[in-house]
Amino acid sequence: MSASVSPQGFVTVRGRGYRPDEVDRRVAGLTVDRDSCWERVAQLTEAAEELAAELVELRAYVATMPPQTYESLGEQARLILTTAESEAARLRADAERAAEELREATVAYACDTGEAADEVAHARRKDAEGRGQRAVDAAHADAAARVAAAEKDAAQWREEATEAFQEMRRRTAATLADAEQRQADEWEECGREIAAREAESARRIAELEEHGREVVALAERRHAETEEAARHRQEDAEARAAELLAQADVEVERIERVTARILREHQEERDELRSHMTHVRNSLAALTGKDPG
């Protein structure tokens, strides 16, 4: 009995049609291919959906965080986000391609096996569905693990960002406190300098006034002595007394002018010092933003 090969790859026997064992082997092979395609499509589709959902959640979570979070934490967060987007796009493309291949394989399978192959495939479809469900469950578990890991990483990043912000606040407060202390020290030093200069000016004025009083007293004593001598030496004493009085008046006038000039210079120096201190207070107030008071 001669045999031939059909377009579907089956060996036909004259008078008996296809050999059952050959059909079974061919159907089994196609079923395995079909099951692999279905399982691959299910896995890729589920993984793509889970990654897309995970990406949406991560984006929503990132939107609630401060804008500078990823910048301050480095490249790791941006790398995870970019990787998730790329992985989702890749899985989606693989799923679409596998689905197209499955459709083509299904058409070829229907043409090759006909109704007989469908009956065999139906018997094995339930087993494939069970394996597909197990793959789906595994994909769910993997996605849940990835989400948990992402949430853990996000919590850690947020904690690190909070710690960095608190550290920045502490350093800022310390800097401000140091600046205020330096300002207080400079203000106190300026106050001491002003007080010392005013005390020195008061001391010098007191010395000049005392010297002026001594000069006046001396002139008065000389004047009295001159008058006393004039009573004894009438003629000569009058001329001498006039000369001494004139000298005394000139001396008094000179001392008064010197005293007035010194007092005026010290007053000008005091006014200049007070003007300088007012300028210092205004400059410090402009730097610190406080009222010079």
Give the DSSP letter of residue 10: P
| 124-147: burial string, b at 16+ Cβ within 10 Å, e else | ebeebeeebeebbeebeeebeeee
How does pLDDT run across 26-69, given as a tens digit for each residue? 667 767 766 776 676 667 667 667 766 766 676 666 566 555 44
Q: Measure the CA–CA gap between 89 and 83, rounded to whole angstroms.
A: 10
263 is a domain residue: yes
Q: How confident is the model at residue 170 (pLDDT cuts 50, 70, 90)?
A: confident
What's the pLDDT at 7?
44
Determine the 3-state secondary structure of 175 from DSSP.
Answer: helix
> Do residues 90 and 162 both lie within one domain?
yes
Q: Compute the average pLDDT of residues 62-82.
A: 55
Domain hosting 211: range is 176-288
> Do residues 130 and 208 both lie within one domain?
no
What's the pLDDT at 11?
44
293 is a domain residue: no
Per residue, the 3-state secondary structure of 23-81, as one string, reads HHHHHHHHHHHHHHHHHHHHHHHHHHHHHHHHHHHHHHHHHHCCCCHHHHHCHHHHHHH
Count of domains observed in the chain: 2
Question: Which residues, other chains included, contact 109 with Cβ-Cβ below 8 Å and sequence gap of 6+?
Answer: 30, 34, 117, 121
Question: Which has the closest alpha carbon to 149: 83, 229, 225, 69?
Answer: 83
Domain boundary among the residues 141, 172, 203 is at: 172
Residue predicted with more confidence, 104 or 255: 255
Domain boundary among the residues 142, 172, 202 is at: 172
> Do residues 166 and 183 both lie within one domain?
no
> Do residues 151 and 75 both lie within one domain?
yes
> Do residues 208 and 158 both lie within one domain?
no
> Do residues 192 and 56 both lie within one domain?
no
> Do residues 187 and 163 both lie within one domain?
no
Question: Which has the closest alpha carbon to 55: 98, 32, 84, 76?
Answer: 84
| The pLDDT of residue 5 is above 70 | no
Counting Cα atoms < 13 Å in the Cβ hemisphere of 279 gives 6
What's the pLDDT at 129?
55
How does pLDDT run across 226-256, given as a tens digit for each residue? 777 667 777 775 777 678 777 877 877 887 8
- Kindly report the number of other CB atoms within 10 A of residue 77's CB atom: 19
